[in-house]
Structure 1
């Protein structure tokens, strides 16, 4: 079997199908020609095949020559992604511009797309720009569409992304499914004078859309060195796909030359014939295949027998979650057959309906997980097994679940006042007063303390935000949505190493290492506290210059300018200055860039209840990091329930 990473193979024969000048190059199909290959990448049927359908593989291909100077570059390419299933493929491919090809040899498959790995993802030393075509929704990026195009700089957390598709001449948006197996074309244009990056996508043989899919201002001269390589990277996970580039044109200092579509159409036909031939087994391997098939069949039969035995003992598809299961008939009756009139909201997972159980006459909320949600089953089971055993007044209570064929449904207590996000940022005129806001903050703190400290295991929520806080009929806050949550034993570390959460609530160390801890939950809760008091989102565009501003930076700036209370939501006329200042400063402390500076949730509750006084620190403390020499003298620690502030006394 071939190793995962092959030695770089450099081919310098330039065929008739490729042309290379000082203005770049054009590949109207591939045979051989000045390309660097890595991993499983190869050429097949005149197409550049980045991955060959093998699980957990990486494939990369770069133009063999280094460009010593790129300014206003342009590229276009035609690609085809062929998945084994019509609705599931992973993990996509990316066009890359990078300082070197050697640094990518340690890249990982799956969600790292053959570009980065858990250690270097997010490092500025990567010196890499990429346009990703992502085809699988990762549990760590819940709010990102699973079929999207993104712009990446040194990290796979896209600075901008958009569901795959294109704008027609009349301005309407048309969706495209990247894993449809149909050829599509991408255009990437960078203007060095304006630092503008435009990315467009369209079906094969369609003209380049007048309106780009993505448009961002990025100064690539500050990201990339003067000399760069250009190419493609792709990866698979357990779910595998074949990623092909049919044609490619690149110009380092101007508009890329057009592709020869008559030639590319012939290659696309060859690719389709190649795909059909792959389904036929050569006679030479027929006997081994039969032996393996018999073995697999035996294993499957045994597995089915074990499953059926367990099913007879515990009921069909029962999960040890402490919650009752519902029938699909009962839930359909409760929602008038899932009528649109009963719809409460929808998201990437599916839809949520209000329901009235016919037997108990109890109002409930029913989350109906969409079959198109690729991570639906995993999140479904995670939410059942974790939330079904949790019981706290500030957590949304899971009442039960239902599985009917491909339908996945969760049943919760109904929260009549909806989400806190809608109340804080919605279009309606509803305003939550200070008393309720302060109680909501204290309630969610109590719920998190229960998850981190008081339950039999440690539960890391991983997606704390205003939209996941629901309000009951008395405006009490309840934390919900445990689809990303992970649990582990007390005294041990969490095993999750995947980035999860919502941009703006993600702790710095989480974006670098992807490792979720109680401290990353505390960071998100700190941002949440600021959002509740200020009435502003974690990231908000500045009205004066259109630049995004972090809520934490905005509050710190106001504090340094003389009054932190100037950041309080103008709609709050009844707030208590002492309490508001406490929450603002505690929010900044919880969202400190150094995780060791953040208090644990037990101490947070003591600060909010005023059982322990919040130390008198200055804004300068928030700029310190764990690497600063003075940091040890100003650190906050929380090793136990009785933990207190140490060494932080007054300003400097």
Structure 2
């Protein structure tokens, strides 16, 4: 008996054992399903397309023309006019290029007609140039020529085409292995390659996956995008098939097997198509044969061992996924939104709803379908610099804290390999736009001071007022968002870490943004409340001066830290001379206080920086800022090293005068 935990893989084992008896080919009667384990005469061929034994050859030999192969019987993706559009799934194994033959490219195609012109050479892959002639089509192209107009320049990409050869999405051909690492696949290598195309008509989600044969289908697709195919699939009968073309050089494009299912999952292909035998050459095309079918009762022990190893790997993967799911639910709680709701909210993640993008992925504006609430949706891409650990940290922290000066996380969603975070929508965007984008209105002094106080209040809450200490680790202008009333809210907790009050932090990885990173953090890699205070100090000076944390020096042509520039301005005259030239009307006493406080917070010694409780008192007038001189803000390197091990957990050693009446 198999262990209970093996049950997801019993169908796989069953398929491997009985593959000899499951060989089907052609159209399955009464269904919208095709299964070709080798090809026969029920396909409609034109141009250069022909059969070589069980093999479908789209082009072979000298080029200049194209070849097409369509199933003779059209598919229906809609039961009734005006009814719902069906999803579909297809998989096929193909080969491009053998030794002296070069393939220019081929495509899987769904078309409103099976009568395509057979004189479309080279770069057009045998496809219509557009749908201007009334031929609606959808294609997945496997293109190997970058720019035919200037010569046969190698390319190697997979693209999604809708009624045009200008791909709506494309990616270098390859796959993501078991560890999530990307590996390139050379399309015209002469080796077998398997492709999977899956379309969800309800979510408009299209996934294209690629892998060399033999291989299981990778978990992570090569291409994943939202595309609405309703205009094609609702036309009526749709023809499915393949297309290829060649230029002046000899070219070869072969399809070895093909399975397609409307409103379901395509059947796996026979082992004679995607065999475990990877040694594969065509010495003589006219005598080409598939490897003989495997009889499981007589397979060598080494093949049985390979099958068992593969099954063991799959079982371990399933157990690890179950453990990860438990970890998600324990740390983050159950998902708050469905993927369908978020697709609807963003109109299919439309570009017109795009608010911004970065290394983590993209942020979209959305309107929740059930409540009509405006939200911001961060869609973390699989290749994101923000990994699962950072994603979970943001959910675990922001999902519990509540403060008027922190961006509110409303919930999250996991869908396959995608991670999505849903926040309150901040109508005025990020603070850095108002500091550096000349097309936005200049912030007046009252607005700037209110933003600084708001961020200070939020940071005080994180450090002192919540049940645990939260170290933000990435305080900067672009992470401060502005609400309808231009109040500052601190966001982006992907790097944040938390620990109990009175306990030293365990974070030892340097993280953050250069210019905001404290000296001891750069030396020792240990984030503390004091390193957050340093970043807040730099941020405060940045808001007052309207200058970035690191900028060009006035004379040397090198780079200069903003705090050093302000300190030099103070030493050379008045610290108020550092204020943003765009700021015309301000209170000199308040500006001087805020600039000096920013310098004190960004002191080179962590023990000399005030804690956020003191910062709030200074800003609100509940305590008087101590007198100090510019030279006292910089310690020599010897003193830095001596105090590093003492000061990392110390908030402040500043003498404070508490004013009465508070």
Q: TM-score, normalised by structure 2?
A: 0.50
Q: Quote the offset at 1:306 in angstroms.
A: 6.5
Which of 557, 581, 587 is the matching residue for 1:576?
587
Decide whether aligned partners of structure 1 residues 409 and 299 sit closer, same or farther in structure 2, where only a CA change above 3 A counts: closer
Q: Quote the offset at 1:405 in angstroms.
A: 1.1
Match of 1:383 in 2: 394
SS of the aligned residue for 2:592 comes to helix
Q: Does 1:453 align with 2:484?
A: no
**1:121-270 correspondence to structure 2 within 5 Å:** none
Q: Quote the offset at 1:180 in angstroms.
A: 7.1
Which of 635, 645, 649 is the matching residue for 2:655?
645
**1:234-383 correspondence to structure 2 within 5 Å:** 318=329, 320-321=331-332, 325-383=336-394
Match of 1:423 in 2: 434
- Rounded to whole Å, the distance in 1 between the matches of 2:654 and 2:647 is 8
Decide whether aligned partners of structure 1 residues 640 and 376 sit closer, same or farther in structure 2, where only a CA change above 3 A counts: closer
- Rounded to whole Å, the distance in 2 between the matches of 1:543 and 1:323 is 54
SS of the aligned residue for 1:399 comes to strand
Decide whether aligned partners of structure 1 residues 613 and 355 sit closer, same or farther in structure 2, where only a CA change above 3 A counts: same
Q: Quote the offset at 1:542 in angstroms.
A: 3.5
- Rounded to whole Å, the distance in 2 between the matches of 1:584 and 1:646 is 18
- Rounded to whole Å, the distance in 2 between the matches of 1:296 and 1:418 is 46
Match of 2:445 in 1: 434
Q: Quote the offset at 1:406 in angstroms.
A: 1.6
- Rounded to whole Å, the distance in 2 between the matches of 1:413 and 1:389 is 15
Match of 2:604 in 1: 593
- Once the two structures are superposed, residues 278-327 of structure 1 have per-residue CA deviations (whole angstroms, 9 ceiling, x without a partner) of xxxxx99999999998987776676667778x59xxxxx64554786111
- Once the two structures are superposed, residues 384-418 of structure 1 have per-residue CA deviations (whole angstroms, 9 ceiling, x without a partner) of 11111110000000001111112211000011111
Per mean C-alpha deviation after superposition, the further-off stretch among 448-457 and 422-431 is 422-431
Q: Quote the offset at 1:371 in angstroms.
A: 1.4
- Rounded to whole Å, the distance in 2 between the matches of 1:638 and 1:574 is 40
- Once the two structures are superposed, residues 126-149 of structure 1 have per-residue CA deviations (whole angstroms, 9 ceiling, x without a partner) of xxxxxxxxxxxxxxxxxxxxxxxx
Q: Quote the offset at 1:612 in angstroms.
A: 0.6
Q: Does 1:559 align with 2:536?
A: no
- Rounded to whole Å, the distance in 2 between the matches of 1:410 and 1:493 is 30
- Rounded to whole Å, the distance in 2 between the matches of 1:583 and 1:354 is 34
8 Å Cα contact 1:638/1:644 also seen in 2 = no
Which of 416, 430, 449 is the matching residue for 1:405?
416
**1:39-54 correspondence to structure 2 within 5 Å:** none
How many residues are treated as equivalent by the alignment? 366
- Rounded to whole Å, the distance in 2 between the matches of 1:323 and 1:559 is 53
- Rounded to whole Å, the distance in 2 between the matches of 1:458 and 1:625 is 31
Match of 1:524 in 2: 535
Which of 558, 565, 568 is the matching residue for 1:547?
558
8 Å Cα contact 1:636/1:646 also seen in 2 = no
Decide whether aligned partners of structure 1 residues 177 and 430 sit closer, same or farther in structure 2, where only a CA change above 3 A counts: farther
Q: Quote the offset at 1:546 in angstroms.
A: 3.0
Q: Does 1:622 align with 2:633?
A: yes
Q: TM-score, normalised by structure 1?
A: 0.51
- Rounded to whole Å, the distance in 1 between the matches of 2:418 and 2:446 is 41
Match of 2:74 in 1: none
- Rounded to whole Å, the distance in 1 between the matches of 2:311 and 2:374 is 52
Q: CA RMSD in A?
A: 3.6
Decide whether aligned partners of structure 1 residues 442 and 636 sit closer, same or farther in structure 2, where only a CA change above 3 A counts: farther
Q: Does 1:604 align with 2:615?
A: yes
Q: Quote the offset at 1:427 in angstroms.
A: 3.2
- Rounded to whole Å, the distance in 1 between the matches of 2:301 and 2:557 is 64
- Rounded to whole Å, the distance in 2 between the matches of 1:638 and 1:628 is 17
Q: Quote the offset at 1:571 in angstroms.
A: 1.3
Q: Quote the offset at 1:544 in angstroms.
A: 5.0
Larger radius of gyration between Structure 1 and Structure 2: 2
Match of 2:511 in 1: 500
- Rounded to whole Å, the distance in 1 between the matches of 2:551 and 2:414 is 40
8 Å Cα contact 2:623/2:656 also seen in 1 = no
8 Å Cα contact 1:370/1:376 also seen in 2 = no
Decide whether aligned partners of structure 1 residues 512 and 378 sit closer, same or farther in structure 2, where only a CA change above 3 A counts: same
- Rounded to whole Å, the distance in 1 between the matches of 2:344 and 2:350 is 10
8 Å Cα contact 1:321/1:389 also seen in 2 = no
SS of the aligned residue for 2:394 comes to helix
SS of the aligned residue for 1:498 comes to coil
8 Å Cα contact 1:424/1:431 also seen in 2 = yes
Q: Quote the offset at 1:639 in angstroms.
A: 6.6
- Rounded to whole Å, the distance in 2 between the matches of 1:469 and 1:391 is 16
Decide whether aligned partners of structure 1 residues 327 and 479 sit closer, same or farther in structure 2, where only a CA change above 3 A counts: same
Q: Quote the offset at 1:624 in angstroms.
A: 2.5
- Once the two structures are superposed, residues 9-60 of structure 1 have per-residue CA deviations (whole angstroms, 9 ceiling, x without a partner) of xxxxxxxxxxxxxxxxxxxxxxxxxxxxxxxxxxxxxxxxxxxxxxxxxxxx
- Rounded to whole Å, the distance in 1 between the matches of 2:415 and 2:584 is 50
8 Å Cα contact 2:610/2:651 also seen in 1 = no
Match of 1:10 in 2: none
SS of the aligned residue for 2:503 comes to coil
- Rounded to whole Å, the distance in 2 between the matches of 1:594 and 1:640 is 11
SS of the aligned residue for 1:325 comes to coil
SS of the aligned residue for 2:624 comes to coil
Match of 2:136 in 1: none
Per mean C-alpha deviation after superposition, the further-off stretch among 372-381 and 341-350 is 372-381
Decide whether aligned partners of structure 1 residues 432 and 512 sit closer, same or farther in structure 2, where only a CA change above 3 A counts: same
- Rounded to whole Å, the distance in 1 between the matches of 2:358 and 2:522 is 23
- Rounded to whole Å, the distance in 2 between the matches of 1:304 and 1:504 is 39
Q: Quote the offset at 1:375 in angstroms.
A: 3.9
Decide whether aligned partners of structure 1 residues 177 and 541 sit closer, same or farther in structure 2, where only a CA change above 3 A counts: farther
Decide whether aligned partners of structure 1 residues 285 and 518 sit closer, same or farther in structure 2, where only a CA change above 3 A counts: farther
Q: Quote the offset at 1:428 in angstroms.
A: 1.3
- Rounded to whole Å, the distance in 2 between the matches of 1:638 and 1:611 is 25
Match of 1:17 in 2: none
- Rounded to whole Å, the distance in 1 between the matches of 2:543 and 2:358 is 22
SS of the aligned residue for 1:556 comes to helix
Decide whether aligned partners of structure 1 residues 330 and 293 sit closer, same or farther in structure 2, where only a CA change above 3 A counts: closer
- Rounded to whole Å, the distance in 1 between the matches of 2:332 and 2:394 is 9
Decide whether aligned partners of structure 1 residues 604 and 286 sit closer, same or farther in structure 2, where only a CA change above 3 A counts: farther
Decide whether aligned partners of structure 1 residues 296 and 461 sit closer, same or farther in structure 2, where only a CA change above 3 A counts: same
- Rounded to whole Å, the distance in 2 between the matches of 1:584 and 1:490 is 30
Q: Does 1:482 align with 2:493?
A: yes
In structure 1, list runs of 5 or more residues that go unmatched: 1-174, 184-275, 278-282, 312-316, 648-652
